[in-house]
Amino acid sequence: MSEEDFSNELKVWALEHFGSMATNAVWRPESTGCRYRKLDDETLELEHRVDHPDSENHHERITGLFASVNINMVDSDVMVTSVALSAEESYRMEMQERQAIAASWTHDCGQPLANMPLSLGTPIFVGEREILLDDGETRSVEDWAVSVQCDNCDSPPVLMNPDDYNLLAGDGLFMRYKKNDDEWMVAMTREQMYATAEAGELGVLVGSVCPDTGEKVPPWMWGTYCKQVPNEVFVIASLGEEE
């Protein structure tokens, strides 16, 4: 695929996503059968793909996309495995592999990241940066992290890549932001929205800024319908994590 086949919006997304990944972070694009790792600030490596033409085509397209924004792709030493027998088996194998990788992540003090009080992880706005598009125009993108305080040492909080935090903590803790010291905004599932409607109650529709405080909201929360949850709920959950 030629570079002109990629829209500016897609190129901006590629730069934002690559920029948000920590060095050595793993990325598995959904339904592609591919697994990538960020080697440095200019390079992605294809570590694994399934033995299927669709997976190979996905990789070729991803390679072209990142090449269009001057990010190199390394794919000379790829592990290729057979296609799973079913979608369920494929999902199970993927989750097992991802969880095994996440279980090996540790803090400088030796504490596994998975054992930290993830329920207290707080999305924080890191800053904005300008990216240059191939048409000469620039666009501002936001960088975010999730701050988690290690409970095994006195070091500064760990600033996790949002995707890594999602893998470790799960969607239930990822799909939220801290509105203030007392409350969180938590995205509702479809079932929760239905129950809220049946009870005659209302949630809060969230955009790029919090409707109550006017503060920035992490991009993964844009367009969600939220309920307000007291901070004590997550503090209590963190105590359970320590046991």
Strand residues in the chain grouped as ranges (E): 26-27, 34-40, 43-50, 72-74, 79-81, 122-132, 138-148, 158-160, 176-178, 183-187, 204-205, 225-230
Mean pLDDT check: name the lowest of 48-62, 82-96, 215-229. 82-96
Residue 51: pLDDT over 80 = yes
pLDDT tens digits for range 181-235: 999 999 999 999 999 999 999 999 999 999 999 999 999 999 999 999 999 988 8
pLDDT at 52: 87
Helix (H, G, I), strand (E, B) or coil at 74: strand
Contact yes or no for 37/45 (Cβ under 8 A): yes
**CA–CA separation, 226 and 83 (whole Å):** 38
Residue 2: pLDDT over 60 = no
- Over residues 155-182, the mean pLDDT reads 92
pLDDT tens digits for range 98-154: 777 788 889 989 999 999 999 999 999 998 887 766 666 777 888 899 999 999 999
β-pairing verdict for 43-50 and 79-81: parallel
Question: What is the secondary structure of 183-227 as a DSSP string?
Answer: EEEEEPPHHHHHHHHHTT---EE--SB-TTT--B--GGGTT-EEE
pLDDT at 86: 59
Number of H helices, E strands in the chain: 7, 12
- Output DSSP code: residue 159: E
* Percent of the chain at pLDDT exceeding 70: 91
Contact yes or no for 135/8 (Cβ under 8 A): yes
Residue bearing the bigger pLDDT, 90 or 208: 208
pTM across the whole model? 0.68
**Whats the size of the chain, residue-wise?**
243
pLDDT tens digits for range 223-242: 999 999 999 988 887 776 55
pLDDT at 87: 57
Contact yes or no for 149/117 (Cβ under 8 A): yes
Residue bearing the bigger pLDDT, 28 or 203: 203
pLDDT at 3: 47
Contact yes or no for 114/165 (Cβ under 8 A): no
**CA–CA separation, 35 and 136 (whole Å):** 32
Helix (H, G, I), strand (E, B) or coil at 79: strand
Q: Is 31 left (phi over 0), alpha (psi -120 to 50) or beta?
A: left
**Residue 166 carries which side chain, given as an amino acid letter?**
N
pLDDT at 134: 62
